[in-house]
Amino acid sequence: MEIVGFDPTLSGVQREVAEHVALAYATCPRCGQRDPATVEELRKDRRNIAILTYGVMLGIAVGSYFVPWIAIGFFALMLVPFLVELVRRPRARLVVHVGFSLGWLVLACMFSRYAFVLPAVAIIQLVLKRSDPEEADRPFREGAAKLRFL
Ligand SMILES: [Zn+2]
C-alpha cells in the first residue's frame, strides 16, 4: 500500500499521523468495507453535534420567550461573520442571505414579544434539512483517492 501525493518534506511523526488518518478513511479494495471504528466515530460526532445544536436552539427559543433579546442578540452575533465576509468579498448569494437575516432581525426587534419565533424556525429548518450523504462520504472519497494498494 502506498499513499499518493504525500508531501516529501513531512517529518517522520507528521508522516505517521498522515498515514494514520489516510488509513482511518480507507476502503478495503477487496470487499469495499470501511473501518468500523471510523464509521462509528463519525456517527457519534454527528450525533453529538446534533444534540448540542438542538440543545442550544431549544434553550434560546425557551429563553427568548421570556427575554426576547436572547434570540435577537444570538442571531445578530451569528450574522457577524457573514457581514465580515460580505465586506471582504461581496457576492449575490451573500447579499441575499444578509439582507434576509437583517430583515428578520429588524422584525424581531419591532415585535420582540415574538422573537422566540427565530430559534423556533431555525429548529424546524434543522429538522427538515436532511443530512447530505455526499458530504458524509467526502472523507472516504478523499481517502480512497490518496491510497493505492499494491
Ligand atoms: Zn475487505
pLDDT at 1 over 70: no
pLDDT band of 12, cuts 50, 70, 90:
confident
CB-side neighbour CA atoms (13 Å) of 95? 4
For 63-120, the pLDDT digits (tens) are 999 999 999 999 999 999 999 999 999 899 999 999 999 999 999 999 999 999 999 9
**Domain boundaries in the chain?**
1-66+132-150, 69-115
149 φψ region: left (φ > 0), alpha (ψ -120 to 50), beta (else) = beta
Using the mean position of ligand 1's atoms as its centre, give its distance from the Cα of residue 1 in Å.
14
Using the mean position of ligand 1's atoms as its centre, give its distance from the Cα of residue 10 in Å.
30
> Can you tell me the distance from the alpha carbon of 64 to that of 74, in angstroms, rounded to the nearest whole number?
10
Using the mean position of ligand 1's atoms as its centre, give its distance from the Cα of residue 30 in Å.
5
Query: In whole numbers, what is the pLDDT of the chain averaged over residues?
Result: 87
Ranges 3-12, 16-25, 55-64: which has the least confidence: 3-12
51-90 in b/e form (b: 16+ CB < 10 A) is: eeeeeebeebbebbbeebebbbebbbeebeeeeeebeeee
Using the mean position of ligand 1's atoms as its centre, give its distance from the Cα of residue 16 in Å.
23
Using the mean position of ligand 1's atoms as its centre, give its distance from the Cα of residue 83 in Å.
48
